[in-house]
Amino acid sequence: MTPLPARTALAAALTIALGAIAPHAVAANTVIAGQPSLDAIDAARGNPDLILLRAGVFDPARQTLDLREVGAAAATDSNYAIVQLKPEQLKAARKALVARGVEILGYVPNNAYYVRLNGVRLGDLAQDASVRWAGTVAPAMKLDPALWTAARATSAALQNDGRYELMIQAFDGVSSAAIEGQLVKQVPGVEITLRSTRAQALPYVRAKVDAASLNRLVDVATGIDGVAFVSPWIAPHTTNAGAIGAIQGNLTGTCAGSGPICGPTPLFDHGITGGGQIVAVADSGTTPNAAWFATLDKGNGPHTEVTFAENPPPVLPAIGTLHPDNKIIAYWTQPGGPTDYDYVSGHGTHTTGTVVGDAAGTFGATTYMPSTPYAPNHDLADGMAPNAQLLFQDIGPNQATAVITQDFEGTLEQAYTGGARIHSNSWGSSSSGQYTTEDANTDRATRRDEGLLVVIAAGNDQAGAMAVGSPGNSKNAVTVAALGHAGSLTKAGFSNAGPTADGRQKPDVAAPGTSTISAKNATSGVNTTVTAPLTASNSGTSMATPTIAGNAVLLREYFADGFYPRGTTGSGIPADLVFADGFDGASPFTESGLDAYNPTGAMMKAVLLNGTVLTTSPNTFPNTGTGWGRPWLDSNLWFKDTMPNGDDSRRLRVFERTNASGLETGDVNEYTIANVGAGVELRVTLAWFDPDASVGAASTLVNNLDLEVVGPGGTYLGNHFAGNVSTPGGTADAKDTVEQVRLTAPTAGSYTIRVKGTSIPGNGRAGSDRQGYGLAVSGKFALPDPAPLAAPTAPTIGGNGSGGISVNATASGSAQSWQLYRADGTCATAATGDFHLVANGTTLPLNDDTSQGGYSYAYKLRGVQNDIEGDASQCVDVVSLDDCTLQPDFDVHSLASDASNASCSVNLSWAAGASNCPAANTVTYTVERDTSPYFTAPTTVASALAAAAFSDTTVTNGTPYYYRVHAVDGAGNASATSAPANATPSGVDGPDPGSYLDDVDTHSYLTLEAPWQVTNVAASAGSYSYHNGSDAPPYLDNTCASIMTPSLAITAGATLSFQAKYDLEFQWDGVVQEISTDGGTTWVDLPPTGGYPSSFAQTTNPPVNACGYIASHGAFNGVTTAGSNADPGNGTATAVFKPFTTSLASYAGQNVKIRWRFSSDPASGFSGFFIDQVQISGAPGAGSYMCTP
């Protein structure tokens, strides 16, 4: 294969004048590109005019960013841009962008988005009054500063074999296969080590080269349109008796790591052992026939069975076979690694043992008792949640400490679908605090599957600050540091410290991780014989992480079993019989009065962090070594009956909103604890699961919530501490997704807690502009245990309309306040645990203003008295009559036109749209017309059309018109607008084939298949031509699309002629001219006079171009210059219009269609193919070529 000539640097690339197209703005100064410091990022977060990128912080409307020293590809036109919106118009402006066909791909702080233009001109966007600035994504903006020229050779991309490996992340919707093809074609010797394969996954490619090709790889990768960020690939690697008492009951001493439990175990004492819970572990493999993992007692007696890995494994994110009675409920290998299962991994066996290990069985003279849903029956080094089930996801390759995660988002989704709600990960890459693709995958998955809590190791043995590995830099995960052994409160020397590179608090918590004794792996083959439980000692954040994950399982069981808010289940019902999932709508257990509750991941995170013990080294709160401290479950999870050595001095209140009922910008939720006592710590913790950030952003927070607590001592803002306690004053935190107020000596009195939706722009995905949260409050209130307020009776729907759903009931007594809970579906289908808080207030009725019209909802009410929730009311359900704001589905590329009719008219048709609003499921259509393809003055020619077709009869023969259509559902929600369709009315036989003229300006007959469009960028005469892409080149990769004439009856002596100007990748991409005599069913080649100027000579076998033309097939490609019709100087040679002709004499008397078919491969695009002045001259035709009004 002949290497493609490298693009020459454009002068415009030397200094990217990013503000040049912003209206009413003049660049005032230049900002030198450079990774911003933490201080610079903190200062910039509060300025709505600034853009915060890893490449620099600047005001794009007033400054330029000097990128000369970065060392990326030359700047070119792009289909991808950053659009900064005026903050006061953000929501409406975002909807307007989508309606115009612009696709929002991710959030860029501040108030900006990455977008795909989809043919919309950047200049047109910039003129919009709600747009502050719009500019293309420069290649240098896509390059990690670690790979800039000065640092490239010594960057973390350097692998052990002396070669360099890069992670090339693309925007959603971009083909990773196309990127792979482009790299292989343009980078000599490149090795593609891995890429995403699932269509819904975040697309990426990992590419490896030797030192000599590194610069070329960087240049090519950053130059690919659709690539979002290029960074070093950093290999991920793997990173009970004592820990049980430490986390459950605040053990501060030391003890052996195996044998009897040392320290208090209040959760075990209350029968919380993990029963009914499923925890997933992704690790390097585990030994399934070890006695730790072979027996499960769900309350009906022990069941012993070995679960082997499923072969073949399920394809992500689908699940495989579940074994509901087995200790290991499933064992699934993940993609990207070897096909063999690693049953003998020491690391994975040890970590899974820490989470759920449960020695059981008789071996020689020793018998080990399995746990039950009520008793831990602790033996040896049983795990934190011995009665939980394990869903194991094997990510181990052949190397002992390596892991492979090809699609971590898919791994998390698979675990969630399989029933896991806690996910443990003792591995990571040394990303030095940077937000990477794996962090984004974690945030993306947990934002969608919001009932999932992901626990991740902080990493080991990297000195200094900003050392936390990825995906531990995820905003939504719980990241774990390691302490010494057992009750130690001292950070282990090997445990990596934070903060993240953008200054966020990481790690979150710390747990024992030194000399942890847990399950030991087998060293030989695995079979159905259960082997004796062996132990091994290991140290690392890998050991601390499953300690937290296992205790998170107990925390979740506390809620799922119904201990909250009464401190007792009061039912005597086995935990495994009441398992229900509030997010999947699993079949409910119908026992009335049960307080079962399925918390969101954010709620679990808030509760976990709300009950922590400060570490002694470091001894500040919080700190970058141990985060918020070591969890102490019993200090936060209140029980009615205090066990020996238990601590129930603080009562717990939880307030939770799911994302569907979350805050929008400017919203405030307010809660009050009226009678807080003095002398006991009051702590309030807010946590939320943020949408995934754009990897190239300098600040990763998308949706900013703020915590505010108003008490007798003043107003306290989240995360404003002095001397390890909250103090009045300060400024609101604008970077973290956890905020806390801690008062060790609160003044007695009433405390008002506010959660404020300060800025919730979302990242462009549906629903991301609403933000849910979990809020935990613990303190001296509602003690010792006041009688709960009886349930309100006779709940009714008091109102149902555009203002929301109002729920009323008969109060059972005097209440401080009322709380309304909602579940999707009906009372018959919603499980007890499905109900989540949607509204609160001091009087009834309460109003839910977050419903969507046409959907069914079930509601319950509780009254609050003496600062604690009362009993829940009976259920009432309703179909919402609220407004539905969901956008209808509509195929924007389906609009077609037919203008050949006896009576002048244009017949339009399109694919039917579909409403997403059940109560407004009708769809009508609006048709707009203009004589400009840019719709500078559009006229609505039809509206409220019920059919997906329209005939416009108010047209004139021979005049070109342009049409576009959008769908509107019964609720008034508009879809995105279609791509334009052109039409020029003619007679029933179409335009005269003897004097056919399509010059676009006065006549436009060709049928366009996307991405072809009419453009004013270039024309051989007049203003318009046809172009194979948008006005913002390059043309699309991996595309096969045509423009086609109407059917024409060719007359004697006919000749086809046209003008073409093109810059198509030489001998790789091209346009082919073809003719059909059977109405377009079959096509044959129609070369121009003298033959094609070039061919697809460099394509592969099989062909890599999208239409599949073989190497010997002729084509128009290269560049039409003054001296050549196929100049190989793509991107450098000056293209001009050139004439081409073809004889049609042999087709005289036949009806034909002629098309120009564009075919591109997965690589390099340029300005494209322009065609104008299409003419057919010959003897006059004998048909009817003019329509009559």
| Catalytic positions, written as ranges | 283, 347, 542
User: Are 1005 and 991 within 8 A, CB to CB?
Assistant: yes
Residues forming a β-bridge with 446: none
Structure tokens at 162: 């002396």
Say which residues have a Cβ less than 8 Å from residue 833's Cβ, sequence separation at least 6.
Answer: 559, 560, 578, 580, 581, 582, 588, 596, 597, 598
CA nearest 1165: which of 979, 1043, 1061, 1028? 1028
If you write DSSP's letter for every residue of 618-669 in order, what string do you get?
Answer: S-SSSBTTTBT-EE-GGGTS--SSPPTT----SEEEEEEE-GGG-B-TT-EE
> Residue type for 694, please?
S
Q: Which of helix, strand or coil describes residue 691?
A: coil
| Owner of token pair 């409307």 | 61
Token digits of residue 378: 């602790």
Nearest to 1187 by CA among 992, 895, 932, 963: 992
Element (H, E) at 544: helix 541-560
- 575-603 CB burial, b ≥16 within 10 A, e <16: bbebbbbbbeebebbeeeebbbbbbbbbb
Q: Are 1015 and 947 in contact (CB under 8 A)?
A: no
Buried b or exposed e, range 261-273, using 16+ CB within 10 angstroms: bbbbbbbbbbbbb
The answer to whether 540 and 483 have CB atoms below 8 angstroms apart is: no
CA distance 614 to 683: 13
Element (H, E) at 220: helix 214-223
What is the DSSP code (8-state) at residue 13? Answer: G
Give Cβ neighbours of residue 245 (< 8 Å, ≥ 6 apart): 251, 255, 261, 262, 263, 264, 265, 486, 487
Is the distance from CB of 753 to CB of 673 less than 8 angstroms? yes
Rounded to whole angstroms, how far apart are CA atoms 731 and 629? Answer: 23
Q: How far apart are CA 877 and CA 879, in angstroms?
A: 7
Task: Work out the end-to-end distance of the chain between its first and last CA atoms, rounded to an integer number of angstroms.
Answer: 59
| Secondary structure percentages of the chain, helix, strand, coil, to 5 | 15, 30, 55
Distance, in Å, from the CA atom of 490 to the CA atom of 499, rounded to the nearest integer, reads 18
- CA-based torsion, 111, 112, 113, 116: positive or negative: positive
The gap from C-alpha 245 to its chain's centroid, in whole angstroms, comes to 37
Cβ pair 204, 249 in contact under 8 A: no
Q: What are the C-alpha distances in Å from 896 to residues 910, 968, 969, 978, 1157?
A: 6, 19, 21, 10, 18
241-249 helix and 541-560 helix, angle to the nearest 10 degrees? 50
Amino acid at 196: S
Instruction: State CA 868 to chain mean position distance.
Output: 37
Closest CA to 287 of 411, 412, 394, 427: 394
The total number of residues written for the chain in this structure: 1189
